[in-house]
Structures are given as C-alpha cells and as structure tokens.
Amino acid sequence: MRVYTEMKQKTPGKTWIYLDDVRVPTERGWTLVKNYEEFVETITRIGLENIELISLDHDLGDTAMAEYFNNVHTNFTLDYNNITEKTGMDCAKWLVEQWMDGKPVCQVTVHSANPVGSANMMGYINNYYMNAHMSQSCVRVRIPHTMPSKIDEGNRL
C-alpha cells in the first residue's frame, strides 16, 4: 500500500475531503468530516466541482467498530444489519448517486483498516467508474495520520 500524498500533489483551489471519525491526517490541507451527515453537508456546501479527492474510512461509530472486531477481524465477514450508524459505504453510495445525477466526478481513495468494508467501497466506486468509461482508480491507500484527543474546531487541517 502506497502513501497517497507521495503519489499526488494537491491542485490549488481544490478541496481534499478526509472521512474518519477517529483519525486525523498529519498533512495539512485536508477538510475533515467525521460522519455521514457531515460528509453530505460538506460536499453539498463546497460543491463537487471544487473537490479533487475524497478519502473514505468505513467504520464510523461504535456499532461499526464492534462489527469489525467481532466479525471482520476474526472471520472476514461483515453484516451491515449489525451496524446502526451510517458507514463509509453509505457515503460511497451517496457520492455515486450524485455522479449519476450529473454532478462532477472526483477521485476517491479508501484508507479504512477494515478489509471487507474497504473492498465493498472500492468495488462500488470502481463499478461506477467502469460503467462511466473511466479508469477504475479507487484504491486502498495509507495516509499518515494521528489520533488526537481533541479535533480542531473548524475541521480544517
């Protein structure tokens, strides 16, 4: 797995979105969102035409983490019926719906530690890319991060 920021430089004037409820990227310039609602609100406010990159985490909350430790980590099965909050997969589905409605398409990566959730999100995004005759470029990456006790109030890192 390659470190994403070693592969690409941010385009001036474009936004990078980092979806994660626990981790914070160490590199400055990301806009942090912690859940589905913040994801939708932030992208709607900024506009997809102004977003260059989105990096997705899968497990966004306590029941998603419990599912990871109880099932995914031990036997590589993921049962969404055991998760009450929306996950990164819900964010991926919302994003594809926006693209299908004619909104601009951006690059998406996945930084989730959950291998099954990561595969689900990458498959969903890449399936859209394939059907839109685009390169299936959604991959799993490692983004250097930290896990602070308090996140910057403005969510701008």
Once rounded to an integer, what is the mean pLDDT over residues 135-150? 86
Whether the pLDDT of residue 5 is over 60: the answer is no
Please report where in the chains the tokens 């004037």 appear, as a residue.
13
pTM value is 0.89
Give the orientation angle of helix 115-131 with respect to helix 88-100, to 10 degrees. Answer: 10
Whether the pLDDT of residue 153 is over 80: the answer is no
24-76 pLDDT, tens digit per residue, is: 998 888 999 999 999 999 999 999 999 999 999 999 999 999 999 999 999 99
Q: What domains are defined for the chain? A: 4-146 (3.40.50)
Q: What is the pLDDT of residue 148?
A: 72
